[in-house]
Amino acid sequence: MLESTLSEAEARFERRRRAVGLVLAPALLLGLLALPMPGLDPRAHTLAAVAAMTVALWVTEAIPLAATALLGPALAVVLGVAEAKVALAAFGDPLIFLFLGGFLLAQGLSRQRVDQRAALWLVSRPVVGGSPRRALYAVGGVGFAFSMWISNTATTAMLLPVALGLHQTMRRAAPDDRDTQRALQRFGGGMCLALAYACSLGGSATPIGTGPNVMAVGLLREHAGATLGFGTWMAFGVPCAALMTVVTLAVVARAFPTPLLRVEGLTAEIQRALAELGPMRRGERRMLLVFALTVAGWLLPPALALGLGRAHPWARWADGALDEGVVALLGACLLFAIPSGERDAQGDRERLLGWDAMQRIDWGTLLLLGGGFALGRLTFQTGLAEAIGRGVLDLAGPVARHPAGLLALATCLVIALTEVTSNTATTTLVLPILARAAVALGLDPRVLMIPATLSASCAFMMPVASPTQAIVFGSGHVTIRQMVRAGLWFNLLGVALVTLCFCVVGLAVFGIDLLHLPAWAR
């Protein structure tokens, strides 16, 4: 979150928080290294100290999150937890390249203005019909759909001007009395919150939608032995995220009512903005074709396995050759080769994407994922995750005796932690512990890991909880009081919906048997 969006008191608190982190992190590292831990393997003991330091730096943001993600594995090597080639191998995980390819595809959609055209086209549909309430649903729905494939942050930044433009049109068309204008001002805050919430929830629908999803898929594959394909995740993620978004938007619309049933000129204003883009260019069509081919490549392996059977030669070939990360890279590389149909200032043919796009990639998120994978692997390899998992079960007491109680506890823990630190950092810390806790109880690790991953997208109280909320808070249309009060209720709603969705949909999609521990998890 940018300091310019904070009040003076909040900015002062952030500076103090970082200063505390610079002192607390090394103190935790040295203190835990000196503290006797007779029940732990020496490597696990050392890693516990490194992990505590890493968590302190992530929570306080004393240094950039990505720098902390690099520091943790590096210190683990220096202190003898693992060799460099083992600790740093996680930065080359195929899932990192899945996210990299997704970032480049998003850059291409933005550069060719496909995202802007699609957003305006969807919001201008007759179903909106000049209704402010329907406009709120439309903005949230578009945010949900786009953030499945494009960065939540980029989607929010792109759609916020659309939402604010709609809000200004409403205020101009409304009667100029104090009560109506105040109600519309409050409704504008609700529309901004609806956009932020929908973008966060949309990211949970696909493996590439947000960092925690990639983290969960990687940890399950690497250490639990469970493979979650693109199609399998979407079979669960899309209906669950869609349900949570619909419920959330309905509650926002009720909590922030509009005094107007219809605003004349609302649809016309959007259509004017759409007309300014002109007819669809060749570059846009080619970009859409590459994007469609990439998505088809992601969905082809599960489709062939479902239609032909996993033993069929084509299904086996697709499963081995069309790795999600490889498909993403192939699609991204096409963007650097295919002409856009236009020429640059020097008269040379432009491509759908130029190499300068690599400079705009969110490298911090990629490094954060790599560091998270590295620490996650080490916690499993040293036995630290298992030791902490047993400790968590002892502390949970009676709650841990029932899967539903432990599931709700896990979702609450993740949401609370995500309010104060990065959702990727939170899942890095929590998922390995939950995996071992589940196994210790004789449960499939996915029972806790997947709901916890979804919960990382449901922290709605604070501007610092996610970049989407920081962006809408920085617009000045949402007060901190509005965000905290609404966010508290939506956090509780998130816990209930995540638990319900996993029990109703997740158990069936993933084929989970609550009574038996799968062989791959033993």
Task: Give me Rg for the CA atoms of the chain.
Answer: 24
Q: What is the mean pLDDT of residues 178-187?
A: 80
Higher pLDDT, 230 or 73: 73
Lowest mean pLDDT among 74-83, 99-108, 286-295: 99-108
Helix axis angle, 132-147 to 230-255, nearest 10°:
160
Quote the pLDDT of residue 28: 94
451 near 410, Cβ under 8 Å? yes
Question: What are the residue boundaries of the structural domains of the chain, listed by start?
Answer: 1-87, 90-112+281-362
pLDDT in tens, 408-458: 888 888 888 777 667 777 787 788 888 888 887 788 888 888 999 998 888
Q: What's the confidence (pLDDT) of residue 30? A: 94
**Res 520 pLDDT > 70:** no
The Cα 357–Cα 103 span in angstroms is 9
Locate 287 and state its tokens: 């970009």
Would you state the pLDDT for residue 2? Answer: 43
Query: Which residue has 């291409």 as its token pair?
Result: 108
pTM for the whole thing? 0.72
DSSP designation for 59: H
Which of 138-152, 347-361, 453-467 has the least mean pLDDT?
453-467
Give, in degrees to the nearest 5, the angle at Cα 197 between 452 and 140: 135
Phi, psi dihedral angles at 41 (to 5 degrees): -60, 145
Using pLDDT thresholds of 50, 70 and 90, give the confidence band for residue 55: confident
Which secondary structure element, helix H or strand E, spans residue 342, and what is its range? Answer: strand 339-343
Amino acid at 329: L
- How do beta strands 349-351 and 339-343 pair? antiparallel
